[in-house]
Amino acid sequence: MTTSPDQATAVRHPLDRLTAEEIEQNRVIIVNAGHVTETTLFTLVGLVEPDKRDVIAGAAGIDRRVRSTLIERSTGEQTEILVSLTSGSVLMARVLDIENEGQAPITMTEYEESEAMIRRDPRFRAAVEKRGITDLEQVRVCALSAGIFDIPGEAGRRLVRGSCFIQPTPEDNAWAHPLEGLVAYLDLNTGEVVDIIDTDVVPVPKENFNYHLDSWLPEPRTTQKPIEITQPEGASFSIDGDVLTWEKWQVRLGFDPVEGLVLHQIGFDDNGALRPIVYRASVAEMVVPYGDPSPVRYWQNYFDAGEYSMGKSANSLELGCDCLGEIYYSDAVLADDQGHARTIKNAICIHEEDAGILWKHTDEFTGAADVRRNRRIVISFFITVGNYDYGFYWYLYLDGTIELECKATGIVYTAAYGDEAQRQRWSSPLGDEGLGMPFHQHLFCARLDMQVDGVENAVDEHDAVRVPFGYDNPWGNGFTRKVTRLTAEGGRVVDGEVGRVWHIVNPSKLNKHGFPVGYELRAAAQPTLMAAEGSSISRRAAYAKNHFWLTHFDAAERFPSGTYPNQHPGKQGTIAHWVEQDRPVDGDDIVVWCAFAMTHFPRPEDWPIMPVDRLGFSMKPYGFFDQNPTLDVPRPKSAHCATQGGGAAGGAAGDACCHDD
C-alpha cells in the first residue's frame, strides 16, 4: 500500500519546503526586476533557511526568502539573487567572482546541448574518423565537470570535458565501448571547443554487455518464493505537513536542490519532553576522484552535489522496485532551468522495517528468557549522476540510534587501454579487449548541525588505551580510555587501533549519573583522499583528508568545498579555511562534519552493473538517556512460529518468538 498526500500549499513553518507557487512567485519577482533574458538559466533556486535561533525560539513574522543563482549565457555572467517572497522584492543581487568563488552547477540544459556542440567541431570529427568510426551519431559524449588545473586559457571560461563512448545501436550499453584517447574541452557559454586532447588510437572494445535487455540476460532463476511485507493495521508513523512522527522520534523533512533530502529538528520524546539532538542533517558534498593520471583522465573528479545538484538528480521511486511495504511517498518540488516549478514524483520514500534483535538475554540465575525486536524508520531518496546511482538512507532506531547509509550502485566508469601494464596499474582489467575499470574513490561529507539538548555543545575524542605493566596493572590485563576535549576547530582521522570515536556532548546538561548528555559518532576507518598533497583535487576536496571536522556554526558555511565547487580553485571558502578562524567550539554552537568513503578497486563482479556497496556512519546515544530507553518495547509476537514449553518466563504463552537473527 502506498500513500502520497497532496503537497500542502500553505506555509505553516519557517522551514517548510518551497511550494510550486512560491517558486513561480520567485521567478516573477526576478523577471520583473530585469534579471532574465532569453538566454538566462536558473541553476539553483532554494529556500534561505531563517536564523536558527529564531526558529528554535518560535519567532513570529519571519521573512520568507529564496536565493537563486542565474547564468546569463550571452555574457557568461553569473548572478546570485536574494528575493523576499514576503515583500515581493529583490533584496540583493551580486555577480559571482567565478575565478575565485567557482561557478554555478552544470544544468541539464547545458549537459543535453554539449554533445551536439562537441560533435560539430571539425577537429573532433577528424579524430573520430581517425579511429575508424564513420557514423558520428554512434559517438556518445559524456560532458563532465572540468575541475581547474591552471591550464592556459582555462580561467574565466565555463568548461566541461567530453569523454567518448560508442553506442552502435540505440539500445546498446555504451559504457562497454569507450572511445579511448579523445577528450574535447567545451565552453558551455559560447559552444566553442577550446581544445582537443587526441592521444594514442586504441581499438574500441566490441563485446556487448546489455544487462538491461532480457534478450542478453541468462534465463531468470525460478527458485525465489514471494516475500510479502505487510502491515495489516497500517504504518506506525504519521506525517503532518513536513513533520514525521514515529515511535518517540520527530523530524522535519526538507529537500534542497544541491543536498537533496534534509532532516531538520531531529528530536526524541523522553518521558513527554521532546529533546533535540540534531538541528539539521544532510549530505553536503560528495566527490568521485579517479586515480588514472593519463592525459585523458587526470582531470576526472566529480562533485556530485556542488557540480551536478544531487537534489535535482533525484529519481521518482516505484513501489515494489525501490521500496517495499507500507510506503509513504513525498514529492520534491524544485525549479527547472527556466526557474519554473517542476515536481519529482515520489522523490522521498518513508517506511518502517524490522531491524533484528533489539536486546536479548537468557539468565542462568532467574531462568528468565527475554527478547525484544528492533525497528527503524527509513527516510530515503535515490539519485542518478551519469554512470553511478546512489541511495541515501537515514535510519532512526527505537533506542535512539541515528544512522546514514549510502548505497552505491550503477555502472562503473570504463576505459580502453592499449598498454597492458598501464591497464594493470591504474584499473581492474575486464576481458581481453583492453577494457578496464579505473580505480577511484567515493568521498561523502555529512553536515550535522548539532543541538544535543540545546545549542551549547562540545566534542570529546575517545581513544582506547593499553596500560603497561606497573604497580596499578600488575597482571598486564588493564586497559582504559583517553578522553580529550577538542577546544579548537579542525579535522581529525579515525584510528582503528584505538577505536577512536567522538562524543558530541552538552556540558551544561548532566544525566542522573553526573556526566554530560551526549551522542557518540562512529565513522568507518577507511582511507581518506588518496590524491597527492598540493594537487588540484586535494585543495578542492580538502574535507576528504579527514573523517571528522569540527567548526563553529555559521549559516553561510553549508558546503565543505564551497558554495560553488564547479571550477572552484580551492584557495579560499572551503572547510580547510573555515577552521583557521579559531572560533569557540567548547560549549558553543557547533557543527560536526563526518566524511565517509569507499576506495573502489572494482571487481569483475561489479560489471556490467554493480551490486550495491554500502558505506556510512552512525550516532548512538551515550549518556543521553539515564538507562536503556527501550524497556517499554513490548514482547514480540509471531504468527509464524510456535512456542515450546508453554511460553517464556515473564510472558504469556504465545508471546515468545522462536527465531532469532
The pLDDT tens digits of the residues spanning 173-230 come to 999 999 999 999 999 999 999 999 999 999 999 999 999 999 999 999 999 999 888 9
C-alpha cell at 226: 514471494
pLDDT value, residue 12? 81
How do 402-410 and 388-397 pair as beta strands?
antiparallel
Would you say residue 650 has pLDDT above 90? no
Could you give the residue numbers annotated as active site?
304, 388
| Domains of the chain, residue spans | 2-96, 108-198, 246-621
Q: In 274-428, which residue ranges form alpha helices assigned H by DSSP?
A: 420-426
The top-level CATH class assigned to 108-198 is alpha beta
Residue type, 567: Q
Q: Any idea of the CA torsion for 650, 655, 658, 660, to the nearest 10 degrees?
A: -80
Stretch 518-544: mean pLDDT: 97
- 639: pLDDT confidence band, cut at 50, 70 and 90? low
390-424 pLDDT, tens digit per residue, is 999 999 999 999 999 999 999 999 999 999 999 99
| CATH code 3.10.450.40 for 2-96 | yes
Name the residue among 126, 125, 129, 120 with its Cα closest to residue 192.
120
Cα 80 to Cα 167: distance, rounded to the nearest angstrom: 39
Name the residue among 600, 583, 424, 587 with its Cα closest to residue 508.
587
First to last CA, the chain: 27
Cα 247 to Cα 376: distance, rounded to the nearest angstrom: 9
284-305 pLDDT, tens digit per residue, is 999 999 999 999 999 999 999 9
C-alpha cell at 396: 532512526
pLDDT value, residue 320? 79
Which three-class secondary structure state does DSSP give residue 368? coil
Cα 208 to Cα 176: distance, rounded to the nearest angstrom: 7
Would you tell me how many other CB atoms lie within 10 Å of the CB of residue 368?
13
Would you say residue 492 has pLDDT above 50? yes
Query: What's the maximum distance between 2 C-alpha atoms anywhere in the chain?
Result: 85
Name the residue among 371, 280, 428 with its Cα closest to residue 649.
371
Burial of 567 (0-12, 13-18, 19+ CB in 10 A): buried
Cα 413 to Cα 436: distance, rounded to the nearest angstrom: 9
Would you say residue 653 has pLDDT above 60? no
Q: Residues 26, 68: contact at Cβ < 8 Å?
A: yes
Would you say residue 509 has pLDDT above 80? yes
Would you say residue 655 has pLDDT above 80? no
| CATH code 2.10.60.10 for 246-621 | no
Burial of 490 (0-12, 13-18, 19+ CB in 10 A): middle
- 10: pLDDT confidence band, cut at 50, 70 and 90? low
Would you tell me how many other CB atoms lie within 10 Å of the CB of residue 646?
9
Q: Which residues contact 236 (CB under 8 A, 6 or more apart)?
A: 246, 247, 352, 375
Which three-class secondary structure state does DSSP give residue 125? helix
Query: In whole numbers, what is the pLDDT of the chain averaged over residues?
Result: 94
Name the residue among 619, 585, 408, 590 with its Cα closest to residue 486.
585
Q: Any idea of the CA torsion for 647, 648, 650, 656, to the nearest 10 degrees?
A: -80
**Cell 518517540 -> residue:** 248
Tally of helices (H runs) and strands (E runs) in the chain:
8, 32
* Phi-psi domain of 410 (left: phi exceeds 0; alpha: psi -120 through 50; beta: other): left
Would you say residue 1 has pLDDT above 60? no
Q: Give me the sign of the Cα torsion angle 105, 389, 442, 429.
A: negative
Counting residues of the chain whose pLDDT is more than 90, the rounded percentage is 92
Would you say residue 352 has pLDDT above 60? yes
558-580 pLDDT, tens digit per residue, is 999 999 999 999 999 999 999 99
Cα 18 to Cα 253: distance, rounded to the nearest angstrom: 12
Cα 282 to Cα 557: distance, rounded to the nearest angstrom: 13
C-alpha cell at 484: 580529550
Cα 539 to Cα 541: distance, rounded to the nearest angstrom: 6
Q: Residues 625, 400: contact at Cβ < 8 Å?
A: yes
Length in residues, the chain: 661
Name the residue among 459, 448, 457, 399 with its Cα closest to residue 270.
399
How do 2-3 and 327-335 pair as beta strands?
parallel
Burial of 442 (0-12, 13-18, 19+ CB in 10 A): buried
* Phi-psi domain of 156 (left: phi exceeds 0; alpha: psi -120 through 50; beta: other): left
Sheet holding 479-486, edge to edge: 2-3, 327-335, 341-362, 369-385, 388-397, 402-410, 610-621, 516-523, 501-510, 458-466, 479-486
Stretch 492-506: mean pLDDT: 98
**Cell 545549542 -> residue:** 455
Would you tell me how many other CB atoms lie within 10 Å of the CB of residue 647?
15
pTM: 0.95
Q: Residues 340, 405: contact at Cβ < 8 Å?
A: no
Would you say residue 642 has pLDDT above 50? no
Counting residues of the chain whose pLDDT is more than 70, the rounded percentage is 95
- 3: pLDDT confidence band, cut at 50, 70 and 90? very low
Q: Give me the sign of the Cα torsion angle 239, 242, 243, 245.
A: positive
Stretch 138-150: mean pLDDT: 96
Phi, psi of 86, deg, nearest 5: -65, -45
Cα 645 to Cα 657: distance, rounded to the nearest angstrom: 13
Would the CATH topology of 2-96 be identical to that of 108-198? yes
Would you say residue 531 has pLDDT above 80? yes
- 4: pLDDT confidence band, cut at 50, 70 and 90? very low
Cα 447 to Cα 659: distance, rounded to the nearest angstrom: 39
- 325: pLDDT confidence band, cut at 50, 70 and 90? confident
Cα 590 to Cα 502: distance, rounded to the nearest angstrom: 14
